[in-house]
Chain A
Amino acid sequence: MSKSATSRKILLLAPLLLFLGLAYVVPFLGVVRWSFTLPETGLGQYVAVFTDPLVQSVFIRTLRICLIVTATSLITAYAIAYVWVRGNSLQRALAEFCILVPFWISVLTRAFGWLAMLSNRGLINTWLQSAGIISEPLALARNEFGVIIGMTHFLIPFAVFPIASAMRSIDERVLLAARGMGSSRTRTFWTVFVPLTYGGLIGAALIVFVFALGFFVTPAILGGGRSVMVAELVYLRIFQSPDWGLGAAISVVLVLFIGILLALLRRFIKPAHMVG
């Protein structure tokens, strides 16, 4: 391909690059500057990020929640993707419905929906109490449990796509070959089918984990201020206790962490494997 043809193709990306540059890169450079200059010039805010017990606990909680959410989303998404790819036409339609409907409903609506289900006077607790199964309401929301449920629900569809695409690319004859050689369906599933979807699983894990790290709305509503994650902490530092320097430093550390994570995983898998 000639050089000019290549550069002309880059032109097709120009609107997006321009938008990303103006809306993200330039403002982010401003955030980087705050982190070194507010309230005074120096590395003080970065020292605080790595020593302040509150910031530390929020980072650890964020990592813990993200790891759990990644696991729960992947397991659920694997089951849905399996039905979507290998089920009969009715099962496939049902799976598609489950995957697509969440995309049509805003994240805010869904968070409040879960609150209506999980809160102390929510549907689940009311039913269980009126049925006499429990006397005191279960703590289902305004804690980590609620956050994990809400985030998992949001992130499942994003995990389904790379996994389903890996499942679709499996040659049916390979599975028949395994069975023809005496391997039971269960054994074929675990020793052939699942290993052949590792690429999709890693891609799904990466997408879900990175997405989860920056979650704001769902933890803010379902965590009820008691289970603060990093994004909410940044918000609090900037809008409630004017401490822009610390908020900026936390943001920079988060962005760097995600950048390193993406770079590391890129070395192991091709991007094409992640999204199919």
Chain B
Amino acid sequence: MPQGMQLGDTKAAEIKAISIGKSFGAFHALKDLSLDIKRGEFLTLLGPSGSGKTTFLMILAGFLAPTSGKLVMDGKDITSVPAEDRSYGMVFQGYALFPHLTVEQNIAFPLKVRRRSAADIKRRVGEMVERVGLVGHEKKLPAKLSGGQQQRVALARALAFEPSVLLLDEPFSALDKNLREMMQEEAKRLHQETGTTFVFVTHDQSEALALSSRVAIFNHGELLQVGKPQEVYERPTNRFVAEFLGEINLLPLDTVQLDGERASGRFEEQTIVVNKSAILAGRAAVAAVRPEHMVITTDGRDANCNAITCRVEGATYLGASTKYHLRTRMGTSLAVSMPTATTQPMPPDTDVWVSWPVHQGFLLPNGS
């Protein structure tokens, strides 16, 4: 690599992806995708398998060349810079540890490649081993470690050379739930401690919401929405995002009318009021409400709430919460999640009111 091309080794980088496209023959894995990755953020690429999120990560890493578009890092065009010259840390699904090297040799690998002095390597490896809690395992081969420990080695190895960007490809998907949550905390802590830009790929929406400063949702090779976890969860701009991030009740409205900051429409002969959004007036749309934002009551109505009458069909006990399955008078099914501890159990066939504050509902375009 020519001198002067050295890409920042210690400070976090920002990357602009501009109109990136990637085709494999007739298959378009990515379509005209633009995304700004901010300096030091924890960005999660979320989507179902085949959505293009991993392809995008591989393009960021330099393992795949985009068919069109370019990548700019800290103002420099890096589209054609090969992977080995980008200086990114990378954690793979399945860890990809070197099976023939011990824990400390694995962590030392990127430092040796960078021709650090032996003393420097020893100090840095010791530091990383301690940071990920693997003291005492330094001389072991990866095969002798548990899944969680291997994951820690992978993280330590990827962060040892203080990369400007850390790319993580579904790193925790093979771990069981408890270990997974522990490693998520660990990743969050390492992100705060190192200040490096993290780009994290997952198909698990709760993982994305728990970890990220921003979430980018992919589907069919397109970037559908980017935003803070709360934004994308509570104000999705399309139905795919709304449904992918968690269960949601969809109430079809005919003819939406705007009224100041609010919008309203007719659902089964009742008026539903929601927050205003970019949906144009006079068109059919869908009002969307998350199950945990709705409450079930046996009586009244509140001025600031929407309320519809329903019949309880059944309940699923989920520990902390209980999910009620209900049906409106005209047959639309709804799900409402209530905290188990503070809710009176409601037997099937009870007639109830389902209500929710106006500001918790939002509009989504009809159709897609």
B85 touches A182 (CB 8 A): yes
**Cβ of B63 under 8 Å from chain A:** yes
A191–B84 alpha-carbon span in the complex (Å): 15
**Cβ of A226 under 8 Å from chain B:** no
A157–B130 alpha-carbon span in the complex (Å): 48
**Cβ of B276 under 8 Å from chain A:** no
Q: Which bracket fits the contact residues of A?
A: 10 to 19
Complex interface residues of chain B between 53 and 105 (CB less than 8 A to chain A): 61-63, 82-90, 92-94, 96-100
**Cβ of B303 under 8 Å from chain A:** no
A198–B85 alpha-carbon span in the complex (Å): 28
Complex interface residues of chain A between 149 and 185 (CB less than 8 A to chain B): 171, 173-174, 176-185
B113 touches A171 (CB 8 A): no
Known: A187-B113, A195-B100, A196-B99. A179 touches B94 (CB 8 A): no
**Cβ of B114 under 8 Å from chain A:** yes
A174 touches B90 (CB 8 A): no
A180 touches B83 (CB 8 A): yes
A183 touches B96 (CB 8 A): no
CB < 8 Å neighbour of B98 from A182, A185, A187, A192: A192
Q: Which bracket fits the contact residues of B?
A: 20 to 34
Complex interface residues of chain A between 178 and 222 (CB less than 8 A to chain B): 178-185, 187, 191-192, 195-196, 198
Q: Mark A128-154, 1 if CB is under 8 A from B, else 0.
A: 000000000000000000000000000
Q: Given the complex, which residues of A lie within 8 Å of B167, measured CB to CB?
A: 180
A225–B353 alpha-carbon span in the complex (Å): 104
**Cβ of B126 under 8 Å from chain A:** no
Known: A179-B83, A179-B84, A181-B90. A173 touches B113 (CB 8 A): no
A183 touches B113 (CB 8 A): yes
Whose C-beta in chain B lies nearest to the C-beta of A175?
B96
A196 touches B83 (CB 8 A): no
Point out which of B82, B94, B113 has the most chain A C-beta atoms below 10 A from its C-beta.
Answer: B113
Minimum CB–CB distance for B205 against chain A, Å: 25
B84 touches A173 (CB 8 A): no
A-B CB proximity, top 6 nearest: A181-B110, A173-B96, A180-B90, A177-B96, A173-B92, A182-B113
